[in-house]
Amino acid sequence: MTFHNRQPIERAATPAEIERLLHHMPVVAQMAENTWAKGFAQSVTKQARRKNWKPSLKQLSVMRGLVSDLFTHASDDAEDFNPIES
């Protein structure tokens, strides 16, 4: 008997989540550490201008990951910020 490792099924995004992810794509492109991520974010931002465009499940998964990484890196840098000294 063969067992296959199943990947978790990505859930579809609500329009509000897609809007939120798209809102962060220009910053993702600006802060990207590699050319692929920068190109992906720019491409998705451009595609989103099309009427009735929705990201594929694969695009959605990558967008979620990039935005998550953006906030993970942003919170790492936040340790340097001291509001008392500002």
Q: Which residue has the tokens 């594929």?
A: 56
pTM check: above 0.85: no
pLDDT tens sequence across 24-36: 999 999 998 899 9
Range of the domain at 61: 15-78
84 is a domain residue: no
Distance CA 82, CA 86 (A): 7
Model pLDDT for residues 36-49, shown as the tens digit of each residue? 999 999 999 999 99
Question: Which residues, in sequence order, are CB contacts of 78 under 8 Å at separation 6+?
Answer: none
Which run of H or of E encompasses 81? none
Report if residue 33 sits inside a domain.
yes
In the chain, how many domains are there?
1
- 45 belongs to a structural domain: yes
Residue 6 placed within a domain: no
- Report angle CA 68, 43, 77 to the nearest 5 degrees: 30
Residue 1 within any structural domain of the chain: no
